[in-house]
Copies of this chain bind each other. A is one copy, B any other.
């Protein structure tokens, strides 16, 4: 069956309603994206395809999750390539609304998630997760998926969305998926296209420092403060890197870990998360440390 492309909410709903009436037992999987699709998105689509009888991809660059001085206008877009990749991945319905379709008037409603948004990108990008909250809410209400697939590169986003879903009893399962990386370890991101050759080469320091952290964490006597310091120092060795944050927190609560806490055999799942600028490009990455016998992800 050929992929259907819908640009309006009513069209998408009509397609889904028909599908639900014909096959009420079929699970609907949603992969929400901002487009400019890469191998990371493709892996989410393939996972959705494996687990759901009907798969929906949304492509929408959401202005509300960009700050006034961020890259909304220059965020890369590639509708034609996105359509081709979605179709190649076997997506059933591609939802690509315009900004005025999603926000015909300024919303008076805000969906605000506290506490898990206090740190990391929530602190560096004020208002970012309010924008994520409302757009994910809207997409879930338009598509009504049984499962929604998100990449762990945006680990805080998953923690925030999961908390919103739990608090509001949204009837959707959030499925976190592994980060997909370039051969040298750099996490795939639509923003990687901004990097010049030198920046691209040096950006490998992010995944390298996280990989090293995995070993350092197991060293006897290693503390939270020392580990974050070692990661920071590793990154600073790349001359073009400007650190926004490097933090070690619990996951998915994203509470701070006491500076002197001993990390080997720490009882909770931890995340080391970082945001680093190379020139005008802000990249994020993270690594999860799951205690033995612990529960994966959220």
Contacts and interface: CB of A to CB of B under 8 A. Distances in A.
Contact of A109 (B109, B111, B138, B171): B111
Contacts of A107: 167-168
Nearest to A253: B108
A137 interface: yes
A170 interface: yes
A83 to B, nearest CB: 23
A9 B144 CA distance: 18
A168 B134 contact: yes
The interface size bin for chain A is 20 to 34
How many protomers of this protein does the assembly include?
A: 2
Contacts of A9: 169
B110 A112 contact: yes
Nearest to A144: B171
Given A20-B24, A24-B24, A108 B163 contact: yes
A1 interface: no
Interface in A1-37: 9, 13, 20-21, 24-25
Nearest to A139: B169
A50 interface: no
A109 B21 contact: no
4 residue pairs, one from A and one from B, having the closest CB atoms? A109-B167, A107-B167, A24-B24, A141-B169
13 contacts: A21-B25, A24-B24, A108-B113, A108-B115, A108-B116, A109-B167, A109-B168, A110-B110, A112-B112, A134-B168, A138-B168, A141-B168, A144-B171
